[in-house]
Amino acid sequence: MGGTKGFLLLVVGIVLGLVVGGVVGVQYLGQKETEMALAPSQQQATPTPAVAPTSGGAQVSWNMGSAFGSKLTQLGTLGVSLSEKIERSTGGNIRLKFAEPGALVPPLEMFDAISAGALDAAWSTPGYWVGKDETFAMFSAVPFGPRAGEYLGWIYYGGGQELMDELYAQHNIKSITCGVIAPEASGWFRKEINSTADLKGLKMRFFGLGAKVMEKMGVSTQLLAGGDIFPALERGSIDATEFSMPAIDLNLGFYQVAKHYYFPGWHQQATLFELMMNRGKYDALSDTQKAQIDMACGDNVREGLAEGEAIQGAALAELKEKGVTIHRWPPEMLEELNTAWSEVAGELAASNPNFKKVWDSFSAFREEYKIWNELGYL
């Protein structure tokens, strides 16, 4: 009997141990399954540290005066295009509000307004500021100077932009090259010009450094903003004018008064445009904002050159249909004009240290480039 009871007690103990162990095991497995099921939701509930985005700078909204009307082919439309590019590319973080000529200040007064901080920015060309310093014109168009490729080479890689920065900084202004157009025509005349003697005594609207060359030819020159030229030509306040390329001149209607149109534009083989900004306001921009403006200006250079080359053929055909006679200056006249330009450049370099510094840099670049120009191009 004792042996039987002992055996039964042993069996009961084993069974109870199995039952209890099973229950504990089930509870343990259930707990692990619950923990595993909850783990993903618990991980989602754990906040992820935020990564701070690179600052684009405080939002900027500037008034941008323009030397050219918004509808004027290239000269004005490139300014509008620039303002649109900057707003799109910055997501509205930088806005340049394009203002028509005279809406904020008269075009030829924008330089002083930006220098004083009364105007934020302007779309213009450095050649308009020869009254401040003739050197500014070197960053706009140079008589008998380079085509666009060579000119931009000097600006971007030959020290031109640095010299431009140095000159504008004297006036509390930052200027960036922001557009380029193809060669211009060299003038509209009421009568045919057969020699430099025919230029003597004429009153003519003329731009930049080329005006000083024409003065050596006996021409009385004045600088008029684009919108003022046609009325002056129509009234007889001026006898002749130059302004820009065929597609642009066509837009302004000079053919209605003067029928003789001369090429090549010896005074402007390429013309650069600028975005001028008050220096203090520019310096307050973030590095990101400055880079965005640089890139928008670079794209404007591309647009200006490509569009300008594309639209001249059709414009010339239309001008011929309107009774315009197209002329090309004879070689001997171009040689006389070139000789006069050499005299002007020498005089300016001798009298203006700023001009000499820029002229020396420009001339050295052209001399080095000459080998490539002769070998590389037809």
What are 247-292's pLDDT values in tens digits?
Answer: 999 999 999 999 999 999 999 999 999 999 999 999 999 999 999 9
- For residue 193, being part of any structural domain is answered with no
Per-residue pLDDT of 101-131, as tens digits, reads 999 999 999 999 999 999 999 999 999 999 9
Q: Are strands 260-263 and 187-189 parallel, antiparallel or unpaired?
A: antiparallel
pLDDT at 50: 38
Positive or negative, the CA dihedral 85, 86, 87, 88 is positive
What pLDDT, on a 0 to 100 scale, did the predictor assign at position 55?
55
- pLDDT score recorded for residue 206: 95
Q: State the pLDDT at residue 226.
A: 84
What is the predicted pLDDT for the residue at 20? 36
Confidence (pLDDT) at 293: 98
Provide the mean pLDDT of the chain: 88
- Token pair, residue 93, equals 């973080």
Whether 70 maps to a domain, the answer reads yes
Please say if the pLDDT value at position 33 is more than 60: no
Position 206 in a domain? no
The fraction of the chain above a pLDDT of 70, given in percent, is: 85
In this prediction, residue 202 carries a pLDDT of: 96
Based on the structure, what is the number of domains in the chain? 1
- Does residue 91 form part of some domain? yes
Long-range contacts of 218-222 (CB under 8 A, 24+ apart): none
Domain that holds residue 117: 60-184+267-376
The CATH number of residue 273's host domain is: 3.40.190.170
Per the model's pLDDT, the better-predicted residue between 152 and 25 turns out to be 152
**Could you tell me if residue 218 is inside a domain?**
no
- Region of poorest pLDDT, from 39-48, 84-93, 202-211, 340-349: 39-48
- Alpha-carbon Rg for the chain, nearest whole angstrom, is 36
pLDDT of residue 8: 39
Model confidence pLDDT, tens digit, residues 298-315? 999 999 999 999 999 999
What was the pLDDT predicted at 38? 36
Q: How does pLDDT run across 129-151, given as a tens digit for each residue?
A: 999 999 999 999 999 999 999 99
24 has a pLDDT exceeding 60: no
What is the pLDDT at residue 225? 84
Question: Which are the contacts of 377, defined by CB distance < 8 A and separation ≥ 6?
Answer: none
329-340 confidence digits (pLDDT tens): 999 999 999 999
Half-sphere exposure of 185 (CA within 13 A, CB side): 26
Q: What pLDDT is attached to residue 300?
A: 98
pLDDT bracket for residue 7 (50, 70, 90): very low
* pLDDT range class, residue 57, cuts 50, 70, 90: confident
Residue 241 domain-assigned?
no
In a domain, 124, yes or no: yes
Residue 329 lies in a domain: yes
